[in-house]
A and B are shown apart, each in its own frame.
Chain A
Amino acid sequence: MSDDLAVQVRDLVRVFDTRKSFRKPSTRISALDGVSLELSAGEVHGLLGPNGAGKTTLVKILSTVLLPTSGSAHVLGLDVVSQAKRVRPLIGLVFGGERGLYPRITGRQNLRYFAALYKMSDIDAKKRTDALLERLGLQERADDRVESYSRGMKQRLHLARGLVGDPKVLFLDEPTTGMDPLAALDFRNLIRELNDEGRTIFLTTHDMTEAESVCERVTLIDRGQVLATESPRTLATWITRFERIDVQSAGQDVLNTVERLPGVSKLIRRDDGSARIETSNKDAMGEVMRLLVESGVTSISTSLPSLEEVYVSLVGDRGLTL
């Protein structure tokens, strides 16, 4: 495996046998169905998909918490199955949500405990804990019980706990679920900072904006299979490939003319008189623009498809948000 790869996954399969009751036969669920991907060292990589796509399963396997059914996965050159013990000191695991912390003790006590589990001396543990609490803005409430924390605070404590072992690779599973937009924004800044420190970050999400804003590359996953791995921008251009133009109040004649131009793949007319023009090559774009301007259409805007639209057209509209 190349030294530059922080994570390497090959044909990973994970099947679950779920047995609902003794009378019913067990059903086999394929959570991961031959997933392959690679993360370079120092990359911020997003895994995007709807609920049930297999994101959490992949994170669990990579963090050595779950075994794959077949296939292989390596983190920093180490096999997550046979060399799990060597992988663990190098990684950090961050789950989203309310669970995952001891509620009846303080944030500081939670961190100190996990720091000790990463085989830190008392002195180091104290230093690291204090530093993390400060960095994540939890200093003031550090000695309050976790059950009194807001969702955003709990999330930051999750992140602190994930960082306590100074991991080279950080796995975050839907870390901003339930966060308010401001908190989520702060969180993303934090991710960038961590990445600047040279950590590899693997982040799962079903939030398009998040993937777009933070990740260098995004893997789309659905029903246990990888659909694509590209940069967010590339994925966006992948479908319609080029910009589309939105126009307001262009006359029908103009629109008809535009529609007949070579390289115009689609023209959508809307009831309010506006229209969207999609092109299939760059040259056509210029032609359309010229025609519109010459016709006196002034209200023109261009855009690239959002990740959401890319996703929807790849997967079909399955209602991505919770």
Chain B
Amino acid sequence: MGAPSLAGLGVAIYVWMKKIHMYAGLLSFMAFVVWGVTGIQAVFLPAPGEWQPPPVSGHKEFPFAGGGSLDDKELAKAVFHAAALTMAGGYYDVHRDEAGNLAFLVYSANGQRELTYLEKERRVRVVFRDSGLGDFLSSMHAGHSRRGARDRSSRLWGYYNEFSTWAFLFMAISGIYLWVATRPGMIWALILSGVAIAVTALLWVATR
């Protein structure tokens, strides 16, 4: 069997590149939808300082016998784990409220949760502020292999996001290759490409 010709090698690279481009797109399609929707929604988010939490959507209480020798930070951690909130990323703003109870915030993909440990009653109160679909998608779009809630669904989505990010980069590069390999003489495409790069570069310079 002889060595493959240069033209044959070029065709083989093109065929494989097209296949990988297509399968990368199909595999990461759902992530693109989430990113696209999030990107559209982000444009209409309020300016810093104008954000308001969603209204209270529900309450829950459960018994909890904690405290003892724990300091507030450790107690908050124990309450956080006992609450076992779905898709919760972490707890913040640990403080004592006006009644002297330990209170803190938990952010989850489903919205903000306000936890208060009622020490005298030995109960934990959870106030739910469920966010809408847009905020949920926005939270999900930000997850990756090392960021996001600890539960399995969030972890899996994080890995999917990360895979899709690499796929996105690959498709941008392979897309240019597929264009140049098949239709390099398209003047309008060349002009369009040049204008897009020039606009991005101009904006970069204006911003820096």
Q: Do chains A and B stick together as partners? A: no
Which residue numbers of B lie inside 8 Å of A, CB to CB?
none
Which residue numbers of A lie inside 8 Å of B, CB to CB?
none
